[in-house]
Amino acid sequence: MKANFIELNPGAIFAQRGKNKTRENFTNVDIYNLSNIDLTAYNCLVISGFADQDFLYEHRQIILDFVNARKILIFSGNLVTDWLPGGQLFVPKEINSYKDYEVSIHKQHPIFEGVLEDDMTYNKGVSGFFARGHHPTPEGAEVLLTLPGDTPITYIDRVSTKGTILVHAGSDLFGYMKPEINKTTDRIGPQLVKWVHEEIAMLQEEVTR
Amino acid sequence: MMKKIAVVYGGSSHHHRTYKTSEFAKYINRLIPIRELETASLEGVDVLLVPSQTHLGLLKKNVEKIYAFANGGGTVVTLGPQGFDWLPSHKWEFRPTNFWWWLDKDPKSGLVLSAPEHDLFKNYLTLSDATWHQHGVYWPPDNCEVLVSTDDGGAVLYIDKVSTKGTWLNTTLDPDFHYGSYFMPATERFLRGFLPWLVEGKL
């Protein structure tokens, strides 16, 4: 089964930076239209931290029903209200040195295959762009990336719902800008799309089996 | 007079931290969810603050209302780059963001303090508190007061008391977004001076 992405547009200017190649097939809808949209045709819902999280909280049942239909939810951002199934609120990291922002691959995973830790941590020698805190993970979640102290910044949750939830405490993993900045982080967006296709196939296969 | 500040609240993680849960929340008298702005009463509001990264579609729907508020003698504050031209006579000029000036050999932020005698900079802020990067400049009418400019004279923070019957403070700086993202310490210093000044200072 083909993955069909739907993305909630939060309306903020930094979230309007044009479609890059990775998200060219995404259906982009205004967040405040969420309750008027028939989500049947879509199987991957993409939400960012720019989104109105009070609104998402009010409409959390729509989101829960979506994932429970054996679908995928991807959230990149800081969670500040309790709308995300299995999610816990963002905890900022106490920063004493630029090294506190160093990203580690906790477990090799196809989404981050060939991506160098330093390319995630540093931008022109400056750290702190990737993630500045974390969300405590639900029991049984698969942790992909961490900050020092085994702080989980990116995880996959197949436990809290009948579907799959990917949570990343940082900027949009699909990338808003042109992805081609000639670093290994360019690989993340396309590899994430590929993973979604495989995950959808797996979720659907479990239904038919 | 202590002014009452209302924030047009978008519910993003940035707005949530800066305006609702941080040390700065105490300066905010009221959060108006942007979804409710069209029908909200602005009675009793002295300053209407439109944050960085406000929902563009809903902002567009409320432009007339915000102008009516200003023309009733209110003060409108806008932060960060705007997504469309709606401020009075602002003549926005986009410039590529100077993210990396401080890594240069001879670092120059390009910012100039144009009104050092203004209450905001005399008693609340230094230029370095307002220095991280800027997203562009305004070229407002001559009789506006430019507080911070670029070295070629473009306005980065200015006060306009001439274009409407009220007061507008417009800046291309986006301290609330960065503070709300836990990024860039100067933005915290900016808000520590700017918000108390907005409440109690001379505008």
To the nearest whole Å, the CA of A175 is away from the closest chain B CA by 17
Which pLDDT value is given to residue A179? 46
Query: What digits encode the pLDDT tens for the residues B67-100?
Result: 999 999 999 999 998 999 999 988 888 887 776 6
Compute the distance between CA of residue B32 and CA of residue B44 in angstroms, rounded to an integer: 13
Determine whether the interchain pair B12/A51 forms a contact, defined as Cβ–Cβ distance below 8 Å. Answer: yes
Total Cβ atoms within 10 A of residue A74:
23
Tokens in use for A205? 């296969």
The pLDDT value given to residue A175? 76
Closest CA relative to residue A12, chosen from A53, A73, A64: A53
| Closest CB to B100 among A16, A53, A124 | A124
Mutate to test the interface with B, among A54, A58, A181 (most CBs of B within 10 A): A54
Contacts of B185 in chain A (CB under 8 A): none
Selection from B129, B181, B193 nearest residue B15 by Cα: B181
Residue among B16, B21, B58 whose CB faces A53 most closely: B16
Residue A145: which CATH number? Answer: 3.40.50
List pLDDT tens digits, range B116-127: 999 999 999 999
Q: What is the pLDDT of residue A183?
A: 87
**Which value does ipTM take for this structure?**
0.92
* Beta-carbon-side half-sphere exposure of residue B91 (alpha carbons within 13 Å): 10
Which of A8, A13, A123, A126 should one mutate to test binding to chain B, selecting the residue with the greatest count of B CBs within 10 A? Answer: A13
Positions in chain A whose pLDDT score sits under 70: 1, 17-19, 176-181, 207, 209
Distance from the Cα of A169 to chain B's closest Cα (Å) equals 11
Chain B: nearest CA to A182, how far in angstroms?
Answer: 18
CA angle A64, A70, A74 (to 5 degrees): 60
CA nearest A58 in B: which residue? B11
- Tokens 């009948």 locate to A162
List the single residue in A with minimal CA-CA distance to B81. Answer: A13
3-state SS record for chain A = CCCCEEEEECCCHHHCCCCCHHHCCCEEEEHHHHHHCCCCCCCEEEEECCCCHHHHHHCHHHHHHHHHCCCEEEEECCCCCCCCCCCCCCEECCCCCHHHHCCEECCCCHHHCCCCHHHHHEECCEECCCCCEECCCCCCCEEEEEECCCEEEEEEECCCCCCEEEEECCCCCCCCCCCCCCCHHHHHHHHHHHHHHHHHHHHHHHHHC
Closest residue, chain A, to B101 (C-alpha): A124
pLDDT for the residue B136? 86
**Integer Cα distance of A160 and A145 in angstroms:** 20
Range of the domain at A90: 5-208
Among B35, B20, B161, smallest CA distance to B88 is for B161
Q: How many Å from the N-terminal Cα to the C-terminal Cα in chain B?
A: 11
Q: How many helices (H) and strands (E) does chain B have?
A: 6, 10
Hey, what domains does chain B have and what are their CATH numbers?
5-200 (3.40.50)
Best mutation site among B12, B16, B98 for testing chain A: the one with the most A CBs within 10 Å? B12
Per residue in B4-62, pLDDT (tens digit) is: 999 999 999 999 999 999 999 999 999 999 999 999 999 999 999 999 999 999 999 99
Domains of chain A: total: 1
The CA distance from B202 to the nearest CA of chain A, in Å, is 31
pLDDT of residue A176: 54
Strands B136-138 and B92-94, by their bridges, are antiparallel
The answer to whether B76 touches B70, Cβ cutoff 8 Å, is yes
Cβ pair A13:B14 closer than 8 A: no
pLDDT digits (tens, 9 = 90+) for B147-186: 999 988 999 999 999 999 999 999 999 999 999 999 878 8
Closest CA to A153 of A141, A164, A161: A141
Q: Nearest residue of A to residue B178 by CA position?
A: A129
Smallest Cβ–Cβ distance between A10 and the set B12, B80, B83 belongs to: B12
DSSP, residue by residue, B34-93: GGGTTT---TT-SEEEE-TT--HHHHHHTHHHHHHHHHTT-EEEE-S--SSS-STT--EE
Amino acid at B24: F
Instruction: Note the pLDDT of residue A172.
Output: 87
Q: Which of B50, B55, B176, B181 should one mutate to test binding to chain A, selecting the residue with the greatest count of A CBs within 10 A?
A: B55
Which chain B residues touch A128 with a CB distance below 8 Å?
183
Residues B140-157: pLDDT tens digits?
999 999 999 998 899 999
Residues of B whose CB is below 8 A from A132: 181-183
